[in-house]
Structure 1
C-alpha cells in the first residue's frame, strides 16, 4: 500500500461529490436544544427505550472499500465513499516519514485546494520537522500539513510543519487561517526526562506554510486540549483535559497576532461551581474571572492556572476535550461528564452568557467518552468517540437525537502490517476517532483520523440527506 497520488475509481467519487452541491441552509442553532430535548429518553432514543441508536441519521452502516488500499477500513451509510491517506510511516512529499498518533485536525480553503493541519500526539523523542520549526529538540510531537484537491478527489501533498512539542491532542482553527495546536502535557526539564524546555503551551501553525515554533505563553500553561475562536470578537475558548478542569477564555490584544499577548480568564457560573454531574437541559449564567499568572513555572495545583481559577470560584468541568465554534455558540465536550460519566456536550452563548448542557449520554451504546467535535456547514455536530470496544463517529441532530455515522473497521492483514512496519495483531477497531472537520466552502468532504495505526480519511457522499 502506498501514499495515494493517482486517480482510483474517480468517477464514483466525483459523482458523489457533485451530487452534494452547495451546502444546505444552516440548521437552527443548538442553543435551544436543551428545551427541545426536555425528555432525555425521547431525545437520545427516538425509537423507544432499548438504549440503542435507532433510525436517525443516514441509515445503517455497512463495510465500504477504501479507494486507496481496497480494504474495508470503515463502515458507513449507503452512498458514502472515502480515500485514505497519510498512514503512519508513509513517505510525505517532503521526504520525511509520516509520524504516528494522528489526532486533532482542521481544514482550510486555500487557492490551491483544501489544506489540513493535523496533530500528532507523540511524546519525548526525536522531532520530525526541520530545526527552524522545532520548539524542543527532545520532543517528538507536532503537526503535519496536507493538501487535498476536492474537485479531483485527490491528495496532493504532505509535509512536516511543526515539531518539538509533546502530546499535541487537539486545538482549533482561527478565523485568520491558522491552526492552534495544543500540548496536553506539563513536562518540566529535569531529572527523569530529556526535555530542554518547559511544556504545556499552544502553538500556531499557518494553513499554508510552516510554524515558527514559538510558544503562545499568554494563552496559558496547562493540560491543553482544544480551542474554539469566536470570529466576531477573536476570543479563544480553551479546554483542559483533567478531572477538575475549567473552561478558559483568552482575550488577545491582537486577534490576528496571538503572540502579542492578552488576558487569560476562566468561566464562573452564577449558581454552581461544578458541572460534572449536569444532565441534558441544565443551564446557568456565565461570567469570567482573570487568571493572574497564566504561565506558572511549577505544576503545584495551588499555583496552576486551574488552581488559581478555582480559588476565584471558577466552575469545574471534568476532562474538557473537544471544542468548536458553530451555530453562533461555543461547543465544549466533557469526555467523562454526566451522572453516568459517559460524556457531556455543553454550549456557551457569548451573547447571552448562557452555559447549558445540550447532551449528556445515558447509555454507552449511545455515546461513550466523546472527544474531538466539529460542526458541519449544515449545522449538525460530529462527535469522535474515544471509549472502549468498537469506536464510532456520531452525529447529533438539531433536536437532540444522536446516531452513528461511521464505525472503525480497521483490521489489517499480515502482509500490510509487514509492509507498513507495524507490529501487533492488526486489529485496530478499538482505536479512537479524532480530527473530524469539514471542507469549509461547501462541506462536500469530511476529513477524520484514526489514531492507530494512524490514518487520515476524506469522506464524501449524500450529506444533504441528513444534518451533517
Structure 2
C-alpha cells in the first residue's frame, strides 16, 4: 500500500521505538549532501576516568541498570543485555525494553538466581519454557526499565518476558511493542520442554510478565532482528548464520502479528542465488541498487531448521550473518556481521518504494569492525554497534558514506549492543554486554532532521 507523504512521515515517527523523529537517511556511499543531511564532527574520543566508555568532549553517560541488581518484582536483573528499544510511556515516562542473551545452563546469569528460587515469586504459566528434565530452561527473555521523563533516571524495572533463550536482537513496532528474537533452533528434549527459535511480542506498556506466545508465522530459525515496514503489513527479519537469508512476512492483517502471514526470502532479480558476502570474489558493488523480488517459503515452523536451505534452492540471496535491522523513512537497514572481503561487516538497505537492495558499506576492517545492532539516529545517520574481539565502538555512518566513532569500550573485551534513542531523541542508550551495564548517553547531538 502506497501512502501520501504526511502519512508516511507519521509512520516513521511511530516506528523507531517511539522516537519522535523522521529520518533523512537514504543511502550512504553515493548520495550527495542535501539540506537534510547532517554534517557531523564530534571530535576525538576522550579517555573515561571512570573506565567504562570513552566519548567525545561534551558527552557523558549515566549507568541506569546493572546485571545482578534487585528488581521491583523481587527477581534479579539478568546478565548479557543485548538488543533493546525505548518507548514513550502514556504517563510521560520512558520505557526501555531490553533482551537478555542467556542459555538454559546460564542460571547464574538469569533472573531467578542460581537455585531458581525466584520461580516461586512469579506466575509459572507466564514462563514459556520452564524446563524439561530440570526446571529453569529459559534463562533469557526481556526486562522493562521504567525511566523518569528526563529519560535517564531509573524508577523501577521488572522481568517482562520469561522462559525464552538467547534473546539477542529484535525490533520495535509502530504500535508500541518490542519483538524479542531467539537466536537458537534448539528442539524440545533434555533440559527443554519446548522447541525454540521464535519471535515473541512484548508490549512496552505492559507491567509484569507477558503471556509468552511464539509468533510461528515469523519462522523458526536463528533469529537476530526484526523491523516493521512502512504500511504495518510487512515484518523484515535477519538470521545469524554464515549462509543466512533476509526474510520478510506479509501479514494477513496489518499490525496483527498473531494473525499470521506468508514468510518470504529476498532474491536478487537478475541473479538468483547471489552470494552477497563477497568472500571469494566481489559479486555486489556498493552504491548500486539491485532489483529484488521475494520467494514464498512454506512450513515456517521448520522442525528441521531448513528454511535457509529451502530458500537457497529457490534462488534466495546468501548473506553473512544478518544481525541488526532497523526501519527508517521507507528503507530497511540491516547489518551482516562477517560480510565483505575482509569478513569485517557489511551494511545493506532494502528500499521499499522501488523494491531494490543496496550495499551501503563494506568494511575494510579499520573504520568499522563486525557491525551488529544498529539504529537510525534523529539526525539521519546510522549508529552501529561493533561486536569484535576487543575495544568495541559505536560507529556513525552519514548519508554521504563517512564513518566516525561515537564511543569506544577500551576497558574490557565486550561487545556494545542495543543502541537506541529516547522518544525525544536527546538520549542514546547502549549496553555493554559482558559488563552487564546499560548506559544513557547525553550530549550535543545534532538536531533532528524531522520537518
TM-score relative to the length of structure 2: 0.84
Tell whether 2:119 aligns with 1:117.
no
Cα 1:370–1:155 change in 2 (3 A) is: same
Contact 1:57 1:467 (8 Å CA) reproduced: no
Q: Which runs of 5+ in 1 are unaligned?
A: 1-22, 38-54, 66-70, 411-428
Contact 2:379 2:447 (8 Å CA) reproduced: no
Cα distance in 1, alignment partners of residues 233 and 177 from structure 2 = 13
Kindly state the Cα deviation for residue 64 of structure 1 after the two structures are TM-superposed.
3.9
Kindly state the Cα deviation for residue 280 of structure 1 after the two structures are TM-superposed.
2.4
Tell whether 2:89 aligns with 1:93.
no
Kindly state the Cα deviation for residue 177 of structure 1 after the two structures are TM-superposed.
0.4
Cα distance in 2, alignment partners of residues 310 and 135 from structure 1 = 32
Residue matched to 1:214: 213
Residue matched to 2:301: 295
1:81 alignment partner, one of 56, 60, 82 = 60
Cα distance in 1, alignment partners of residues 101 and 396 from structure 2 = 25
1:164 counterpart SS class: coil
Residue matched to 2:289: 283
1:59 alignment partner, one of 40, 43, 54 = 43
1:165 counterpart SS class: coil
Cα distance in 2, alignment partners of residues 78 and 452 from structure 1 = 26
Cα distance in 1, alignment partners of residues 319 and 250 from structure 2 = 21
Kindly state the Cα deviation for residue 186 of structure 1 after the two structures are TM-superposed.
0.6
Cα distance in 2, alignment partners of residues 355 and 170 from structure 1 = 22
Residue matched to 2:51: 72
1:251 counterpart SS class: strand
1:383-424 deviation line (CA, Å, top 9, x unaligned): 0000122110111111000010001144xxxxxxxxxxxxxx
Cα distance in 1, alignment partners of residues 252 and 96 from structure 2 = 27
Cα distance in 1, alignment partners of residues 171 and 356 from structure 2 = 22
Structure 2 matches for 1:407-426, cutoff 5 A? 407-410=408-411
Structure 2 matches for 1:418-437, cutoff 5 A? 429-437=412-420
Number of residue-to-residue matches in the alignment: 397
1:74 counterpart SS class: coil
1:218 counterpart SS class: helix
Kindly state the Cα deviation for residue 27 of structure 1 after the two structures are TM-superposed.
5.8
Contact 2:55 2:406 (8 Å CA) reproduced: yes
Kindly state the Cα deviation for residue 356 of structure 1 after the two structures are TM-superposed.
0.3
2:29 counterpart SS class: helix
Cα distance in 1, alignment partners of residues 155 and 48 from structure 2 = 23
1:34 counterpart SS class: coil
Cα 1:245–1:165 change in 2 (3 A) is: same
Cα 1:451–1:24 change in 2 (3 A) is: closer
Residue matched to 1:35: 30
Contact 1:343 1:360 (8 Å CA) reproduced: yes
Q: Which runs of 5+ in 2 are unaligned?
A: 1-18, 33-38, 113-121, 131-136, 279-283
Contact 1:27 1:398 (8 Å CA) reproduced: no
Residue matched to 1:414: none
TM-score relative to the length of structure 1: 0.81
Contact 2:378 2:448 (8 Å CA) reproduced: no
Cα distance in 1, alignment partners of residues 147 and 82 from structure 2 = 18
